[in-house]
Chains A and B, each alone.
Chain A
Amino acid sequence: MTATLVTNARLIDPEADTVAEGALLLRDGAIAQVFDTPAPDGVTADETIDARGAFLAPGIVDIGVKVGEPGERHKESYKTAGLAAAAGGVTTIVTRPDTEPTIDTPEVLNFIRERAEDDAAVNVLPMAALTKGRAGQEMTEIGFLIDAGAVAFTDCDRVVQDTRVLGRAMTYARSLGALIMAHPQEPGLSRGSAATSGKFASLRGLPSVSPMAERMGLDRDIALVEMTGVRYHADQITTARALPALERAKKNGFDVTAGTSMHHLTLNEMDVADYRTFFKVKPPLRSEDDRQATVEAVRSGLIDIVGSFHTPQDEESKRLPFEEAASGAVGLETMLPVLLRLYHSGELELPTLFRALSLNPAKRLGLACGRLAAGAPADLVLFDADKPLILDRFKLQSKSKNTPFDGARLQGKVIATFVNGNAVYRSA
Chain B
Amino acid sequence: MRFDQRHLLGIESLRPDEITTLLDLAEQYVTLSRRREKHANALAGLTQINMFFENSTRTQASFEIAGQRLGADVMNMAMQASSIKKGETLIDTALTLNAMHPDLLVVRHPHSGAVDLLAQKVNCAVINAGDGRHEHPTQALLDALTIRRAKGRLHRLNIAICGDIAHSRVARSNILLLHKMENRIRLVGPSTLMPAGIADFGAEVHEDMAEGLKDADVVMMLRLQRERMDGGFIPSEREYYHRFGLDAEKLAHAKPDAIVMHPGPMNRGVEIDGTIADDINRSVIQEQVEMGVAVRMAAMDLLARNLRARPTELMA
Give residues in A with beta carbon < 8 Å to B. Answer: 197-206, 208, 210, 274-275, 316, 319-324
Contacts and interface: CB of A to CB of B under 8 A. Distances in A.
A155 to B, nearest CB: 28
Nearest to B118: A321
A59 to B, nearest CB: 40
Nearest to B175: A203
A120 B92 CA distance: 36
What is the size category of the interface that chain B forms with chain A? 20 to 34
Interface string B194-229: 011110110000000000000000000000000000
A205 B196 contact: no
A323 B114 CA distance: 9
B253 to A, nearest CB: 27
A interface, over-half SS: loop
A320 B135 CA distance: 18
B197 A322 contact: no
B14 interface: no
A208 to B, nearest CB: 6
B296 interface: no
B196 A322 contact: no
Interface stretch (B22-30, B43-51, B126-134): B126-134
B117 A205 contact: no
B114 A202 contact: no
B197 A202 contact: yes
A274 B196 CA distance: 19
B200 A199 contact: yes
Interface of B: 12, 89-91, 109, 111-114, 116-117, 131-135, 166, 169, 172, 195-198, 200-201
Given A316-B89, A319-B91, A322-B111, 6 more contacts: A202-B195, A203-B172, A205-B113, A206-B134, A275-B117, A320-B90
Contacts of A210: 196
Nearest to B194: A202
B134 A320 contact: no
A158 B84 CA distance: 29
B197 A205 contact: no
A201 B196 contact: yes
Contacts of A201: 195-197
A210 B166 CA distance: 14
A205 B201 CA distance: 13
A275 B109 CA distance: 15
20 contacts: A198-B196, A201-B197, A202-B196, A202-B197, A203-B12, A204-B134, A205-B112, A205-B132, A205-B133, A205-B134, A205-B135, A210-B196, A274-B116, A275-B113, A316-B89, A319-B89, A320-B91, A321-B109, A322-B111, A324-B111
B90 A321 contact: yes
Contacts of A198: 196-197
Given A201-B197, A210-B196, A320 B89 contact: yes
Nearest to A287: B197
A321 B113 contact: yes
A206 B110 CA distance: 11
A321 B200 contact: no
A278 to B, nearest CB: 13
Contacts of A316: 89
Contacts of A200: 197
B112 A199 contact: no
Given A203-B172, A205-B132, A205-B172, A321 B114 contact: yes
Given A319-B89, A322-B111, A208 B116 contact: no
Contacts of B117: 275, 319-321
Contact of A208 (B90, B196, B198, B200): B196
